[in-house]
């Protein structure tokens, strides 16, 4: 019984580097999606100001929202105005949403 648990723990530990690599690739895809679709108004990285001062930097979204709760809004299409500048209507695919959330979790200061 103890040997089985040790073997299972060993397998889990060996898989962790693979998980980290997969999350890194996912975060990179999320970063590209946000840079492509959102960087015109939002700061999409770990520093810098948003080009539109009324558009929050994405690294601060965790202060306003639980990041996992953004999945539904990303799937249904986020429609928000930033002080007279209407945000384009975006609808992302489920895999894109996962990538965006992984990236947002990586760059957010507080979740």
Does the residue 7 lie in any domain? no
Tell me what the pLDDT averaged over the chain comes to: 80
Does the residue 6 lie in any domain? no
Count of domains for the chain: 1
Q: What is the mean pLDDT of residues 84-106?
A: 86
Q: What span, in angstroms and rounded, lies between the C-alpha atoms of 73 and 110?
A: 20
Q: What is the pLDDT of residue 36?
A: 94
Does the residue 94 lie in any domain? yes
Does the residue 70 lie in any domain? yes
Does the residue 83 lie in any domain? yes
CA 92, 93, 98, 103 torsion: positive or negative?
Answer: negative
Which domain range does residue 69 map to? 23-107
Pick from 90, 39, 94, 44: which is nearest to 71 by CA? 94
The CATH number of the domain holding residue 50 is 1.10.760.10
With a pLDDT cut of 70, the percent of the chain lying above it is 69
Does the residue 8 lie in any domain? no
Q: What is the pLDDT of residue 111?
A: 44
Does the residue 11 lie in any domain? no
Q: Is the model more confident about 3 or about 59?
A: 59
> Please, are residues 33 and 92 in contact by the beta-carbon 8 Å criterion?
yes
Buried b (16+ CB within 10 A) or exposed e, 91-111: ebeeebbbbbbbbbbbbbeee
Grade residue 100 by pLDDT with cuts at 50, 70 and 90: very high
Does the residue 17 lie in any domain? no
């Amino acid at each position: 019984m103890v040997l089985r648990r040790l073997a299972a723990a060993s397998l889990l530990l060996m898989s962790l580097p693979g998980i980290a690599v997969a999350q890194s690739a996912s975060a990179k895809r999320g970063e590209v999606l946000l840079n492509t679709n959102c960087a015109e108004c939002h700061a999409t990285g770990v520093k810098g100001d948003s080009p539109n001062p009324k558009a929050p930097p994405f690294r601060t979204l965790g202060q306003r929202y639980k990041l996992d709760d953004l999945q539904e809004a990303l799937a249904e299409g986020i429609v928000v105005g930033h002080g007279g500048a209407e945000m384009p209507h975006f609808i992302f695919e489920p895999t894109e949403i996962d990538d965006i959330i992984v990236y947002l979790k990586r760059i957010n200061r507080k979740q």
